[in-house]
Structure 1
């Protein structure tokens, strides 16, 4: 096994049951649920293998329903594979479903401490970064406002501000840049640029070709749950566009 990697996936396979959300998770593991394929089940990912080296910026592309977000959740540890394995060196900063984990009745201030703690920050670390988080989120006038009274844009700003302050070596991003106004997206772009310049690894799922070409040097193209191309990002996008236009 290659020891110089940020993410390593070997023969990954995940199956879901049609009409039922979710896949095999920690609860399934402890319940000892069978790996037999039953009627109505399908493979969301099959035989997927790749290695991401530290500091690489990887873009994952493919049409909807081809396994991109499933792969991201495997890397994040949210899902467990039915076959194969994925190994991540160091922790991850997950910008996926980023407003999850916030509590509506708690204030912005309380949610910053709660969510940061869930991601592994100590209270002392949050104290040092609190002003930076609030400034980035542009919520200085709302720190004592209950989270449930924030607009959807404010919620996204707060979530990005918290997660982007984590010092984990790998950043996982799933379409989060598609939300928010133009000015805030540009702020997010600059923050990701800073993280990449600092040597962080980026694992980025997106349909936005502009963002993929901006941040990523390499791409993974998924089709029907299988990895059909692992190549420089421009080659992957050219192949994806050619296949898409041929349909």
Structure 2
């Protein structure tokens, strides 16, 4: 069966703090005990498969591993257990304004950001006007990025990433920002990408957005996948357990 994303036995381990608060006594403690007291697993034993063209919504309370899972799929984080296999590239809308340089102009940042995402130089030139028009920044092309408002920065970042031709779109709560008109513009763009057959992997607390875009849901609790099913059923269980 053709797959877009395969996740098998996935786990990642984080330190609770950088220095571990080790004492002189810890130097003589068994290594296994030191690990147990200073490390935790935000995700463990997670398995699922995504088919091309599916729209998956990831739900769960804060701190249950949703954004960590998205970063593992994006390749931003490396698992300590199991594997993530993504067939084809990804267009990541994660920490959306990251990677832009304050002292560079909007024009320079478009070239930089699109290039970092793997867009060839000739393609950047061809799509430049579309990116600027979508972001509604025609009058700010030569303005330093640091002088843009927070809303302008979000518009620019979404405009760049939504122009990538990767088969899988990763979205983490970015639709919660920006004004209503721009959110609707983003909704229409995501609808277009889904109509093209792109795969959507979408983390959100917004039930309306999840029901609009997604047909299937993954419910994370305590870093474990506790339900995988139709998005309506997953949201019903999630809401029931919040009461």
Instruction: Indicate the residue corresponding to 1:95 in structure 2.
Output: 93
The number of residue pairs the alignment matches comes to 230
Instruction: Indicate the residue corresponding to 2:127 in structure 1.
Output: 129
4+ runs deviating over 3 angstroms: none
1:58-79 deviation line (CA, Å, top 9, x unaligned):
0000000000000000000000
Instruction: Indicate the residue corresponding to 1:27 in structure 2.
Output: none
Q: Distance in 2 between matches of 1:43 and 1:244?
A: 23
Q: Distance in 2 between matches of 1:173 and 1:17?
A: 26
Which of these residues, 173, 184, 195, is aligned with residue 193 of structure 2?
Answer: 195
Which of these residues, 141, 144, 159, is aligned with residue 143 of structure 1?
Answer: 141
Q: Distance in 2 between matches of 1:62 and 1:14?
A: 18
Instruction: Indicate the residue corresponding to 1:221 in structure 2.
Output: 219
Q: State the SS of the aligned residue for 1:39.
A: helix
Q: Distance in 2 between matches of 1:98 and 1:124?
A: 24
Deviation (angstroms), 1:40: 2.1
Q: Distance in 2 between matches of 1:42 and 1:86?
A: 20
Instruction: Indicate the residue corresponding to 2:68 in structure 1.
Output: 70
Which of these residues, 219, 240, 243, is aligned with residue 241 of structure 2?
Answer: 243
Which of these residues, 112, 115, 124, is aligned with residue 114 of structure 1?
Answer: 112
Instruction: Indicate the residue corresponding to 1:29 in structure 2.
Output: none
Which of these residues, 35, 41, 49, is aligned with residue 51 of structure 1?
Answer: 49
1:189-236 deviation line (CA, Å, top 9, x unaligned):
000000000000000000000000000000000000000000000000
Deviation (angstroms), 1:95: 0.2
Which of these residues, 74, 83, 86, is aligned with residue 85 of structure 1?
Answer: 83
Q: Distance in 1 between matches of 2:200 and 2:18?
A: 30
CA RMSD of the aligned region, Å? Answer: 1.4
Which of these residues, 10, 26, 51, is aligned with residue 12 of structure 1?
Answer: 10
Identify unmatched segments of 5+ residues in structure 2.
20-31
1:167-194 deviation line (CA, Å, top 9, x unaligned):
0000000000000000000000000000
Q: State the SS of the aligned residue for 2:122.
A: helix
Q: State the SS of the aligned residue for 1:102.
A: coil
Q: Distance in 1 between matches of 2:35 and 2:80?
A: 10
